[in-house]
A and B are shown apart, each in its own frame.
Chain A
């Protein structure tokens, strides 16, 4: 491992090129299950991000004293401990949200993003980069979660930011924006099939943007001049 960590590269990886939700397709279970509204998605996204930072930090600290043979059980126990802490915190401060998220909070333990980052990154890097990686991977996952929650909430109910008081206290109760009055709720978007369809659309959108970037880069490359010789090939470019 090189001593100087490229934070720019890490950020780009977490948010876009290697986004855990729409490129690696990890942690689909919470992604599909709780993104019915923005508030649920935000709750789970922040919980996941905190767990990722804690677990990456702990794994990075113990990486030199844990042998390879037992590393996975050790990582899982570290993650489970972090998840339990977060769960207790949410139970104390955001009890209603804790009830809505239900089983998906303890299930963060089995979220592949967290074990994946612990094993692939934190166990090979120093504390600071490992924590930053946890943060940026959590952010990449969270952004997709919230985006999906917003899309499904708008199309499903015609409103946005409903029940935000569950997460941000009573002052946020008035944040709800009704975009379309008298909207017939479109149940499919809120039900599980909607999660699959919208995740697919997000992945397609990302691929479309990537293809556009690649086309622009290809256009910038120098074009061979007509009549010039090919390298190691006989004949002329026509």
Chain B
């Protein structure tokens, strides 16, 4: 009989890892549909290719480590990691880009550290950051949303994946990029002159963010995670944005609404920041953890050099999570908070 080592807690709740991961995948569906509507089949093709690779790498890693692959594959965590990473990648990425990302996420960030539950960093974000600093050209090549340019079809999406040299895609700067590089136009004029901006945030991006928000709220309702970290992140991001909004001059960092509904804000807030393994554990700790991620997202977005900041902010705070937990340990039942000081 194989004796499986499973991380604590060993008490069984009705929610198994598999059920949690299933719910997370279900909650991602509206966001993926919106992304597919605005950017074409690129995201969907990314996800399918990424999941196939994730299963392959996970099986390989488990076999090398002498663990039963099927038992661990069934918890769907590899699929969730791959899906999150592929949603964050630009659509119409070449196959090798996704392969390098998934390999970094599954092999380095997850199995080098001992598998699910032992990883100090969020695997999907590690994969994303590896790609972002290694292949800046490919990682900033976002195709224009429906309404601002042509959206490639399914055949073209497959062609972009497997024969990248023959794919002639059009790319456009993302709204976050445009805003960061803008230093001459008032926000109001920038909005009118650039087709990539929508009603509140980036065109297409705002609806994708709203869809991810909806999925996140459903997960909250299902009690997959507590409200602390995501709410803290969104509030602190909003506060930072209002502090530096300055009424919309050319040096403005953009309105709070723009930051909430641009880039990976909602995906990050509800699907990345809430990762039970890599985030802070105590409720007070989660508030601090989420709030600092919000602050970092704003700082890196507005004064940094990279297209989006959620991945970097999350990784930096993953470092800090054990430290936060150390100082926010709740007092155990029956002990006063003064004891042991």
Interface set of A (CB-CB < 8 Å, partner B)? 184, 186-189, 191, 193, 197, 200
Interface centre among A184, A189, A193, A197 (most CB of B within 10 A): A184
Which A-chain residue is minimally distant from B96 (CB atoms)?
A184
Report yes or no: B108 in contact with A187, Cβ–Cβ below 8 A. no
Chain A residues closer than 8 Å to B319, beta-carbon distance = none
Minimal beta-carbon separation of B121 from chain A (angstroms): 12
Report yes or no: A188 in contact with B133, Cβ–Cβ below 8 A. yes
Chain A contact residues: helix, strand, loop or mixed: helix
Indicate which residue in A184, A186, A189, A197 contacts B108 across the interface (CB closer than 8 Å).
A197
Assembled-state Cα–Cα distance A193/B104 (Å) = 12
| In the assembled complex, B130 has its CB within 8 A of some CB on chain A | yes
Q: How many residues of B contact A (CB 8 A)?
A: 10
Interchain Cβ contacts under 8 Å between A and B, 18 examples: A184-B96, A184-B135, A184-B138, A186-B100, A186-B134, A186-B135, A187-B133, A187-B134, A187-B135, A187-B136, A188-B130, A188-B133, A188-B134, A189-B134, A191-B133, A193-B133, A197-B108, A200-B112
What 0/1 pattern do residues 134 to 148 of B give for CB contact below 8 A with A?
111010000000000
Minimal beta-carbon separation of B103 from chain A (angstroms): 12
Chain A residues closer than 8 Å to B134, beta-carbon distance = 186-189
Chain A residues closer than 8 Å to B130, beta-carbon distance = 188
Give 4 nearest A-B pairs by CB, closest first. Answer: A188-B134, A187-B134, A186-B134, A188-B130
Chain B residues closer than 8 Å to A197, beta-carbon distance = 108
Chain B residues closer than 8 Å to A193, beta-carbon distance = 133
Other A-B pairs beyond A187-B136, A188-B130, A197-B108, 9, CB < 8 Å: A184-B135, A184-B138, A186-B100, A186-B135, A187-B135, A188-B134, A191-B133, A193-B133, A200-B112
Minimal beta-carbon separation of B104 from chain A (angstroms): 8
Assembled-state Cα–Cα distance A188/B317 (Å) = 21
